[in-house]
Structure 1
């Protein structure tokens, strides 16, 4: 595990952008899985400036690692957010976007293997210790990509937009540990204790992200506030 501590959100976003662009600049097909949400906003803002309409990154293919469907909406929450934050402003070709959905999730692991596997995945950390859609109450460390029922207790549950009992899909711990380079980004003092728990505590399904300690090529990028509880 490599831990990088930057002064603030802007600095950690710049570092993360540079690491991703390092992967993307290879002279081969590059498969990336990237996260939605607030933490990567600064990363995407920087990447759009470089990637938009550039033929240098036509080799990069994108995969979402979880999806939450919305009733009567063509696409789910994750891919919609990724389009808004990055795909659309960067003018990413539709041919390079490979959505994970509740309809195709059972083929996700096979599809990734046939495509050469994921070169890198950028993920965030939930305040309850979840990563991707792997929640403390539903995760088994033996899961590949799987389907989960929404309980309504999830931190990201949006009343009126989501329905209790609906199903979402996520790449499980086994699938994520197959990624060649895993990049975890976390900012803010509110997650400092959980950062310490999942990075320096025992590996337990009670805090699903603790399993990331087992990844052979894990890079953790934190701002000083998120890193403030770590043992030096």
Structure 2
């Protein structure tokens, strides 16, 4: 696990976008894993800018969303399929047919979850997965207590998650109580995972992720088992890390050939 501490969200977005750009220039038909929430938005903005100004090409790329609410009708502005389209995929030249998400409207939820796993596998697996982290350490909608080997499935959202997401709705009562999410085992299958965290409210979750035990109480801690996980933090999110100086030293002395 590489932990990189940067001055703020702009530097984080630039570095994460560097990784996506390098991947697409090396492998134009790469499979991207897309997260929603506020943390990845600066990355998407930076990628859109590079598409417009540098010709960064997404035409052959494929994308899989991390999660989706259950029960929101198709086209609902806060469904994650719509959010991803609004903040990213609708602003670059990736075809709508190449953007996939779990089907939160399916009549047969278990079958929909298996179909999503099968689709990711058929695409060759995710090359680069973007992640945020919740204040309780969840990634995707893998809440505390999730199996570290879990696959795409339906989950019940904890009240803290619903309160955190209420800012996107008119009230917490409108936030769905269930969601479909890629499981922790599914996320671990991605070849490269980049997790983004900013703000002091994420500091404890970041410490549990990076320096705590691998445990279901902090779902994100499973990334300690990933062979290529990169954690991009601002100073506030890194403020509780005991080894922060070591992480800074390691990144400052990283060999140029090693990349992110």
TM-score (norm 1): 0.90
Q: How many angstroms apart in 1 are the aligned matches of 2:57 and 2:98? A: 14
Q: In 2, are the aligned partners of 1:36 and 1:81 still within 8 Å (CA)?
A: yes
Indicate if the aligned counterparts of 1:182 and 1:219 stay in contact, CA closer than 8 A: yes
Question: How far apart, in 1, do the equivalents of 2:189 and 2:7 lie?
Answer: 31
Q: Which residue matches 1:77?
A: 79
Q: Is 1:144–1:172's contact at 8 Å kept on the other side of the alignment?
A: yes
Deviation track 1:3-55 (CA, whole Å, cap 9, x = no partner) reads 11111111111111111111122244200011111112211111111225947
Deviations 1:129-168 (A, max 9, x none): 100110014x11121111123454524453243344xx31
Native 8 Å contact 2:143 2:158 kept in 1: no
The 1:150/1:222 distance shift into structure 2, 3 A limit, reads closer
| Inter-partner Cα distance in structure 1 for 2:233 and 2:154 | 30
Distance across 1 between alignment mates of 2:193 and 2:73: 34
Cα pair distance change 1:74/1:178, threshold 3 Å: same
Which residue does the alignment assign to 1:49? 49
Q: Which runs of 5+ in 1 are unaligned?
A: none
Q: Where does the alignment leave 5 or more consecutive residues of structure 2 unmatched?
A: 107-111, 167-171, 244-260
For residues 227 and 153 of structure 1, what CA distance do their matches in structure 2 show? 22
Residues 1:13 and 1:28: Cα distance change in structure 2 (over 3 Å): closer
Deviations 1:154-196 (A, max 9, x none): 24453243344xx311111111111100111111111112211
Match of 1:198 in 2: 209
Distance in 2 between residues matched to 1:187 and 1:5, nearest whole Å: 10
Task: Say how many residue pairs are matched.
Answer: 229
Is contact 2:29-2:61 (8 Å) kept?
yes
- 1:52 & 1:69 partners in 2: Cα distance? 34
Q: Is 1:70–1:162's contact at 8 Å kept on the other side of the alignment?
A: no
Query: What TM-score, normalized to structure 2?
Result: 0.81
Equivalent residue in structure 2 for 1:122, among 125, 130, 150: 130
Q: What's the counterpart of residue 134 of structure 1?
A: 142
CA distance in 1, matches of 2:233, 2:23: 20
Matched, 1:184 2:195: yes
Q: Distance in 2 between matches of 1:27 and 1:151?
A: 38
